[in-house]
Structure 1
């Protein structure tokens, strides 16, 4: 493993971590593959055979295959999976060159795992240490995400892929089926016509992320026009519907789902994760009635957002989010509701501190009328800071 500079630690501590920590033995991973765990990644070297000293708990293993230098050395799309490891665990995988993926079926072979365990000391020079310098960051990004929830959200295939695995909706296995499709041997008269000629695609079954479905209609059936208007201004009905259908017994799991979506986007490069993160954030921040009823959910939301927004460079929002002014307008609603009547005092104070923190960090003014193009920048006098 190249460029794996780990934090200096006491030799006795390192020995204890080697004995008590989990080990991922990853055999046959091609040299040059980009591979990482949690918030750190490396380029695999010729001697690499896995990662050692992994703290017990939930982790995200991710990797991207790389073409040989003769083929340009291009990096493929990222693949990732969530793993839960116990103390002294050994998880064994072999690289499948045909699928360009890790095959973990060997972990089910007790004899093979026992053999690896007996020779673990010999493997030690080929194992890269877990990057403890990013452990605090990883824990802060996933403290609400349990093993059960991660397993329920990731695809049935067990792989989270940056590019969706899609297949045609119509398989067209027979000549007759293909003959009935529009011909493509004439020039298209418009972009719409060209798009209509393309085969309709769908995601391969079992590869879909299993996020909570957010209802398109944000109001109950049979709602009056006044009720529809109210449910459009305050999304509490839609939020309660999502909680009831997906997290009825543990409403705070919605924060774990928010973290899962964020990790999929931030580390796994899955754009769908970003879109779902935005949808959940909109639902939470624009639910005034729920904010009065669910103090713990919203105290947790502030903590989750504090760590998430700390991991993204400020210019990210300028380049992407603020094109539609999503984050600033959404948080403006949140701060407005959190200062309203009937809000718990602790939640109100926590929201005020969070608002001041974001104003200082990003120089956004959440009290001003936001325009449609960019965040409002607060021009602070020289030497003045916001605590």
Structure 2
């Protein structure tokens, strides 16, 4: 028996099991997976193979270089080369219906001592494809490394909390129902209090016949706010530019939240995508969309962070290649389901055409490759060179004028989707932060000063008339807001 890293996945027979990009149905003899390569891995399971809540956990296997250096240190101190492989033990808790790490060090040692008995028949070799083609298997393993190369322990600690378990059992766990606070569903009548839900850990509620109610883990995802992409106190043209070019919001996110590490944004994009792919986690899907919309609506940042954007576009292309791996339709890239991504890519392309810089050409090359993939795989036409109105000749020779109508108005911001200028009431302006003052007096004072600046009267009498007139307008606006 070769000493290779392995994970024991102690789940019932007939359950859903999976590691990284491969999922399978467990058998009575299945005990785990051996020959794990170095790097980050994600194991997941569910009590049934149907649409039920899935549970998963991240863990990291030491690379060969790290393991060999550890072996050398052990050899130099003890005089013998005896190395035990990394062993991770995860088991299914039938009472709480969740995947948990083995917390008893004695039990971990027992399993390590008995590895020889289950090595051949109970442990399956690590693989990422059901195909027998060695080339396809190698590609899938390389894909997994590329899909996780920005994920690190710091990111998992931030999103999922500490992952250190008893006896060195790494376990950063979450489920299909884990959610960020902003994505959580607040259902009236259902209590979030564990004791108030009737399913206490003491076995109450259903007499111990069912699983104890467990609160879902809250995900601490990056705070991406697409409705507030400008700094505090910014008004006028600066606010408009910040809404059209979200480079400031991206820079603020990287510097203030991520500590200047662009890798953190890519890591969360990878984490969110993989949690949708393996667990069907809806909150991670929403975060993936938010990050895409933030990154693809920046202009200045593309030149300022050209290397980052090249990595991002390569990652996005690889993720889209694996969208069909999911059993559900969460990643729907058909003509209708891909409308969000189509709109973002068209807008990103138009923004690139307005930029100049030495890093632009590399980003354009990566975008061209992404568009070529989408064109060949899904038939997407992301440019504007297609017919929207024209004459068609039928079989009988009759000519009919055809028009696609308003189908592309939203993408082009035309028709009813075109931007327009509106006048805000005082209440609306206050809600947008245009006027200060918590007691409402600040809005009237600002409007009064605004009227004075517009009039600029030369005499005091005229100034009083303008002031009274502006106060009357404010009173009318208040009445409009109330009635």
Q: Could you state the TM-score of these two structures normalised by the residue count of structure 1?
A: 0.74
In the TM superposition, residue 171 of structure 1 has moved relative to its aligned partner by 8.1
Note if 1:26 corresponds to 2:32: no
Q: Distance in 1 between matches of 2:316 and 2:50?
A: 35
In the TM superposition, residue 24 of structure 1 has moved relative to its aligned partner by 0.9
Match among 131, 136, 141 for residue 135 of structure 1: 141
**In the alignment, what sits opposite 2:207?**
none
CA pair 61-123 structure 1, distance change in 2 beyond 3 A: same
Q: Secondary structure at the match of 1:163?
A: coil
CA pair 280-39 structure 1, distance change in 2 beyond 3 A: same
**In the alignment, what sits opposite 1:265?**
276
Match among 279, 286, 290 for residue 297 of structure 2: 286
Q: After alignment, is 366-375 or 30-39 more displaced?
A: 366-375
- CA displacement, residues 7-58 of structure 1 (integer Å, 9 cap, x when unaligned): xxxxxxxx7xx52x3111233x211110110011111111111111111210
Q: Distance in 1 between matches of 2:351 and 2:126?
A: 42
Note if 1:150 corresponds to 2:145: no
Q: Distance in 1 between matches of 2:256 and 2:5?
A: 36
Preserved CA contact (<8 Å) 2:40 2:58: yes
Q: Distance in 2 between matches of 1:152 and 1:57?
A: 19
Preserved CA contact (<8 Å) 2:178 2:216: no
Q: After alignment, is 238-247 or 365-374 more displaced?
A: 365-374
In the TM superposition, residue 257 of structure 1 has moved relative to its aligned partner by 0.8
Q: Secondary structure at the match of 1:321?
A: coil
In the TM superposition, residue 140 of structure 1 has moved relative to its aligned partner by 2.5
Note if 1:318 corresponds to 2:334: yes
CA-based RMSD: 2.9
Match among 89, 99, 115 for residue 120 of structure 1: 115
Q: Secondary structure at the match of 1:217?
A: coil
Match among 43, 47, 60 for residue 65 of structure 1: 47
Match among 363, 376, 380 for residue 364 of structure 1: 380
Note if 1:168 corresponds to 2:168: no
Preserved CA contact (<8 Å) 2:230 2:249: yes
In the TM superposition, residue 262 of structure 1 has moved relative to its aligned partner by 0.3
CA pair 247-46 structure 1, distance change in 2 beyond 3 A: same
Q: Distance in 1 between matches of 2:237 and 2:118?
A: 69
In the TM superposition, residue 273 of structure 1 has moved relative to its aligned partner by 1.0
Q: Secondary structure at the match of 1:281?
A: helix
Residues 289-300 of structure 1: matches in 2 within 5 Å? 289-300=300-311
**In the alignment, what sits opposite 1:9?**
none
Higher RCO, Cα 8 Å, sep 6+: 1
Preserved CA contact (<8 Å) 1:339 1:348: no
Q: Distance in 1 between matches of 2:274 and 2:350?
A: 28
- CA displacement, residues 222-262 of structure 1 (integer Å, 9 cap, x when unaligned): 11221111111101111112112322232122111101000
**In the alignment, what sits opposite 1:80?**
56
Preserved CA contact (<8 Å) 1:34 1:63: yes
Q: Could you state the TM-score of these two structures normalised by the residue count of structure 2?
A: 0.60
Q: After alignment, is 343-352 or 301-310 more displaced?
A: 343-352
Preserved CA contact (<8 Å) 1:156 1:208: no
Greater gyration radius: 2
In the TM superposition, residue 148 of structure 1 has moved relative to its aligned partner by 2.9
Preserved CA contact (<8 Å) 2:8 2:32: yes
In the TM superposition, residue 127 of structure 1 has moved relative to its aligned partner by 1.0
Preserved CA contact (<8 Å) 1:156 1:207: no
- CA displacement, residues 193-224 of structure 1 (integer Å, 9 cap, x when unaligned): xxxxxxxxxxx877111110013411111112
* Number of corresponding residues: 317
In the TM superposition, residue 172 of structure 1 has moved relative to its aligned partner by 9.7
- CA displacement, residues 298-355 of structure 1 (integer Å, 9 cap, x when unaligned): 0111110110011124992227733xx2000001122222333224232233323333
Q: Which runs of 5+ in 2 are unaligned?
A: 68-84, 129-136, 164-171, 185-189, 197-213, 386-406, 413-483
CA pair 374-267 structure 1, distance change in 2 beyond 3 A: farther
CA pair 170-205 structure 1, distance change in 2 beyond 3 A: closer
**In the alignment, what sits opposite 2:90?**
93
Q: Which runs of 5+ in 1 are unaligned?
A: 1-14, 67-72, 174-203, 376-387
**In the alignment, what sits opposite 2:102?**
105
Q: Distance in 1 between matches of 2:143 and 2:320?
A: 12
